[in-house]
Structure 1
Amino acid sequence: MRTEPSPFGLRRRRRWHWLSWKLSLAMLGLPLIVLLATTGYVVLIRDERLHVTVLDAYTEQPLAGVHVRAGQAEAVTDEAGEARIEASGSASLVFEKEDYDPVTLEIAPDQRSARVRMRPNVVRGVVTRRDNGEPLAGVTVKALSGDQVVTQTTTDSNGSYALRGVPEGATLAFEHDEFADVRIDLSRQTAVSVALRPDVVTGQVTDPDGQPIQGATVAIGNAIATTDEMGTFRLTGAPEQGEIVVKAPGYRAAVVPLSAEMRVAAQLEPISVRAIYINAAVAANPEAWAERLALVERTEVNAVVVDLKDSTGRVFYDSQVQLAQEIGAVLPILDPKAIVEELHRRDIYAIARIVVFEDPILAEAKPEWAIKDAATGDLWRTWNGLAWVNAHRSEVWDYNIALALEAASFGFDEIQLDYIRFPSDGPLDRAEYGVEHNRETRTQAIGEFLERARLALAPTRAYLGADIFGLTLWELGDSGIGQVLEVVAERVDYICPMIYPSHFYPGSMGFEIPNDHPYEVILWSLQNGAERIPQHVRKLRPWLQDFSYGPGIEYGPNEVRAQIQAVEDAGLDSWMIWNADNVYHEEALHAS
């Protein structure tokens, strides 16, 4: 007789079947939903939802709280970085979490699982002072993509910051007015702390009596500042170490080591420069050179101007400027270092003269940098047949500035640039410059060249001087050569007008022959110039003539002395005397 199983036995068999199915499906990796039917039987249903796992792309740790969307369906990952979402009918999943880049994942129709890595886009850290370790508030922290700022923030009172939305491969920039900028190329970083170095130098520049010197240049590396009416300055962008150079017209340059205190008190010694010109041929002749130096030591003269490059384009020493060698400009008859050493040993102020735009050698070697003749297409030339380089060309600027820097490296106290102008004689109507050529562009070209030279020489001990036409003190335009007094004055340490009475036109200043009136021509010219640039009067140091030229009187000791007296009566104490042959009337000079 068949017996019915007991209720207990039935439950036991049902339990066995349920466990059996669960183990079997689990081994196949199939998700289950288990339901208890009203009959008491267990019903097994396969879970059709997509299983996702989300990890931090940098740490590989699971990410909780990630919002997952598939069409209208949504889910949030748990502590294990996992979630299940109904993805049927959707072609993509969207993963979003604050401080992480969103991710969109394309999924296949039969795909049952997905593994996603999300890149964190927030960087945190602390900014401190390198000198004392204290937290630094107010630092701007930027994320840069190339030169573009993508996102930025500012450190708080604790020096802390959190920069969000940082793109992959960004550069992190830390900026503060009082400290050197820091840039860091990010890789897989979410924490970046830095210590910033102070890069602001402050101080005061005074004369020996403690009076402030306004308009002094203070420079180190690429950092340049100018003193105010109290002689104080604030120099930003100072390098970590080096020497600060302090210069002001009418004073000797001073060099002050950069200290950890980032504070400078500089005292400048005044100097009056009274110079004679010595060309390269005389300087290269030991006997002739000795004669001129003896003249300097016997008289009130205390400075010499020596040619390093003249209007032939020749460079009279073994220049290491590659272009000078390439174009055959080098004629090494001078040893500039030895010249400077000897002059300084005798306490003589050393000035290096460099002729700039009248340069036939460079023009012939680099015709593309030269003025062209519009009629012939060949090089334009003066009435004397000399080719000129084009003052609009920055390549020409760079060449001469390289020579000026080299001269400064020899220890010259001053670099004096001559022929910083466009040509004044020749068939000027046929001169072709390749750019619009008028008063504005001429003045701009000369001004930009001098500004570039000023910035280049600022961190050196050498002052920058510029020779200009004497007529520039009177002419309000540019005389067709690009020289405007106000423009030049703003960009050099010394303005050197060539006020040769013999070179003024008949009728100038009311004189039929200006050459017959050396005192008046010099005095009135300087007074007129001083009225135009009252804030730069100390920069005026004129060239005087000790030669005879053109109609009028012969020049001797009296005429030379009259010019010197005119300089002094104009309220100035510095001057230079020119004679192309370097022969000077000693009787015109006071004994030392």
Structure 2
Amino acid sequence: MPRRRRRWDRVSWWYSLILVVPLVGFSSVFAYQHFIEGRGYTVSVVDAYTDEPVADARVIVGTSETQTDSRGRSRVPKDAVEIRIEKDGYDPQALVLPVAGDDDIRVALRPNVVQGMIRHAGDDRPLAGITVEAHAPPGTVVATTTTGEDGSFVLRDVPEGASLVVTSADYSDVTMEIGRQTSFELALRPDVVTGRVTDTDGQPIPGARVAIGTAQATAGDDGQFRLEGAPESGDVVVKAPGYRAAIVPLDASMRIEAQLEPFQAKAIYVTADVAADPAQFQEKIDLIKRTELNAMVVDLKDSTGSVFYDTEVSLAHEIGAVRPILDPKAVVEALHANDIYAIARIVVFEDPILAEQRPEWAIHSSDGGLWRTWNGLAWVNAHRKEVWDYDTALALEAARLGFDEIQLDYIRFPSDGPLDEAEYGVEHNTETRMAAIRDFLTGVRDALAPTPAYFAVDVFGLTYWELSDGGIGQNLETIAPLVDYICPMVYPSHFYEGSMGFDIPNDHPYEVILWSLENGAERVPEEARKFRPWLQDFSYGPGIEYGDNEVRAQIQASEDFGSSGWMLWNAASEYHEGALRKP
């Protein structure tokens, strides 16, 4: 009997083999034999994130292959050297055997499929056509797709440590770490503001600038604009040269219809000392109210480097530049109470206080000391970003104080002194000078864009004639596109004898102003609406004395050209009222 039972065992084994071979294939015969005899490893495959069993994973041993069951389990031969586990939607894994421990091998597969749904944050509707990407450090796109009509998306083969990046032309971008998350439900907020800018007659204003936060846009010829990247809330600021700024609160519609009121500044310059004296300041306000004047330029920082109010810009205090004789908020309030446009003047690169206190930011002489003009004044180096940051901070503060316009003066390199001895620490030529001025103005423009304050710069009158940079970095074609107003100091007394064919240009106030503006307009016709000249209300050099008629002639020339206003300069803030029309 025992012998018969053993013979039957052998028959049973071969009978089982005959039945199994057609089912599993001859390549798996020996694996099956080991399984029957219990002479293999048990492999348990689980999801690395959920710890749930992974069924139907392929377990590959050499040329043979099995699949995990519903419990995520499979067996491999004891003599297997290496196994590989694969499953769609997971990173594959390879193991070298034997594995330390018992005969049970646990394998955790990391899922590499990320899926989700994207909807509109306002009404929960699905968003189709949204770009969804997986980025691996340092920002390389490793997987990309777009959402379907139902707002769903699937990203495959997403590596570990990747980020999910969602972008759209009409909605706010989303970037987030994927981590161990495989499913996302996202709601996108619209971040595009559209609209139209018109004047009070309903006519479009081409080139109007629209800004909120760091987002900016420019209106087209039809006045339409599209502003991308808008924040969730805030005020939209709309500005165009020749108009008053408009502030429109952003609402859920993300649509703006802005109507701008025409405005041409007709201004006088007032020193900080005059503005700080109540009687003299009121006298200037009364002059404006009695005449066609409607604006005042007030010094906040002049060519001495002094800052005339208690600024919050700490550097001004550190270098001893603060001379707090003005209350700028009170100045603005007084001007606005009388419907006067308030312009803050800030002198930039002629700043002897900053140059003396921060000599590393100054122009140096070939002997190593500070370079100085013929009058002994040290200048800061316009190539230095630290100088840019200082004056940008002052300009932004002036905007917060409520000034309608920030006007920067001395936006240039020095024009007098031993120029051939000046050392800048960098290559210094026409191109680098123009680049320094351009980059500085670009930074100020962007800083002021979301504020209601307009941005203006003063330039030499010769800049409208000089085709290069005049050795000082001022080039009309470079500067004009970066500002709201460009203000040439076209004082007839400051043109060389023979200029424009005149022996004494000072004797021809009307022609000097008109021809200079016209010449500039020929060079930058699309920017001519930004021209607002400084006119002289003083006598200087050879030629006639300037009084009512000469000042009026300059005003007439400016208006005949069609400039966006004009400004009168007198260093003592004394003006010929007879040159001005009644309101």
Smaller-chain TM-score bracket? over 0.9
Q: Assess, with a 3 A threshold, how the Cα gap between structure 1 residues 315 and 87 changes in structure 2: closer, same or farther.
A: farther
- In the other structure, the counterpart of 1:199 is 191
Map of 1:108 onto structure 2 = 98
Change (3 A) 1:66 1:521: same
Question: Is 1:528 equivalent to 2:531 in the alignment?
Answer: no
Kindly state the Cα deviation for residue 102 of structure 1 after the two structures are TM-superposed: 1.9
Q: What are the within-5 Å matches in structure 2 for residues 9-28 of structure 1?
A: none
Question: 115, 118, 123: which one pairs with 1:127?
Answer: 118
Whether 2:468 is the aligned partner of 1:468: answer no
1:497-524 deviations in Å (ceiling 9; x for gaps): 0001111111111111111111111111
Equivalent residue number for residue 219 of structure 1 = 211
Q: Secondary structure at the match of 1:180?
A: coil
Match of 2:25 in 1: none
Correspondence 1:95-244 to 2 at 5 A: 95-108=85-98, 112-146=103-137, 147-244=139-236
1:427 aligns with 2:404: no
- Show CA shifts across 1:133-185 (max 9, x none): 11111111111234222221111111110011222232211111000111222
Structure 1 residues 507-553: Cα deviation after superposition (integer angstroms, max 9, x where no partner): 11111111111111111101111111111121000000011111222
Shift of 1:75: 2.8
Shift of the 110–440 alpha-carbon distance from structure 1 to 2, 3 Å rule, reads: closer
Q: Identify which of 358, 364, 370 aligns with 2:350.
A: 358
Structure 1 segments unaligned to the other structure (5+ residues): 1-6, 19-32
Task: Specify the SS of the correspondent of 2:183.
Answer: coil
For residues 222 and 110 of structure 1, do their structure 2 counterparts lie closer, same or farther at Cα, with a shift above 3 Å needed? Answer: closer
Q: Go from structure 1 to structure 2 and tell me whether the alpha carbon gap of 1:364 and 1:561 turns closer, same or farther (over 3 Å shift).
A: same
Amino acid of the structure 1 residue aligned with 2:288: V
TM-score (norm 1): 0.91
Contact 1:74 1:85 in 2 (8 A): no
CA distance in 1, matches of 2:99, 2:388: 69
User: TM-score, normalization: structure 2?
Assistant: 0.93
Maintained 8 Å contact 1:252/1:269: yes
Asked whether the 8 Å contact 2:89–2:156 carries over to 1, the reply is yes
Structure label with greater radius of gyration = 1
| Cα deviation code 1:395-422 (max 9, x no counterpart) | 2111111111100001110000101111
Q: Is the Cα contact below 8 Å between 2:513 and 2:557 reproduced in 1?
A: yes
Deviations 1:238-271 (A, max 9, x none): 1111111110000000111111111111110001
Residue 86 of structure 1 is matched in structure 2 by 77
Q: For residue 495 of structure 1, what is the aligned residue in structure 2?
A: 486
Distance change >3 Å, CA 141–CA 573, structure 1 → 2: closer
How far apart are the structure 2 equivalents of 1:495 and 1:333? 29
- Structure 2 alignment gaps of length 5 or more: 16-32
**What is the distance in 1 between the residues matched to 2:428 and 2:200?**
48
Task: Please report how far the alpha carbon of residue 224 of structure 1 lies from its aligned counterpart in structure 2 after TM superposition.
Answer: 0.6
Distance 1:432 1:75 in 2: 78
Q: What secondary structure does 2:150 align onto?
A: coil
Any conservation in 2 of the 1:89–1:109 contact (CA below 8 Å)?
no
Q: What residue in structure 2 maps to residue 27 of structure 1?
A: none
| Equivalences, count | 562
C-alpha contact (below 8 Å) 1:548/1:555 kept by paired residues: yes
Distance in 1 between residues matched to 2:60 and 2:420, nearest whole Å? 76
- Pair 1:445–1:473, CA change in 2 (3 A): same
Percent identity over the alignment?
Answer: 63
Preserved CA contact (<8 Å) 1:143 1:149: yes
Say whether 1:256 aligns with 2:268.
no
TM-superposed CA distance for 1:87, in Å, is 5.7
Q: Post-superposition shift, 1:434?
A: 1.6
Amino acid aligned to 1:241:
S
- Distance in 2, matches of 1:50 and 1:37, equals 23
- Distance between the aligned counterparts of 1:456 and 1:139, measured in 2? 31
Across the aligned residues of Structure 1 and Structure 2, the Cα RMSD in angstroms comes to 2.1
CA distance in 2, matches of 1:363, 1:504: 30
SS of the residue aligned with 1:245?
strand
CA deviations over 1:419-458 (Å, ceiling 9, x no partner): 1111111111111112211111111111111111111111
| Contact preservation (8 Å) 2:529, 2:564 | no
Matched with 2:503 is: 512
Tell me, yes or no, if the aligned pair for 1:498 and 1:542 is still in contact at 8 Å: yes
- Is 1:307 the counterpart of 2:334 in the alignment? no
1:540 alignment partner, one of 516, 531, 540: 531
Inter-CA distance 425–78: structure 2 relative to 1 (3 Å threshold): same
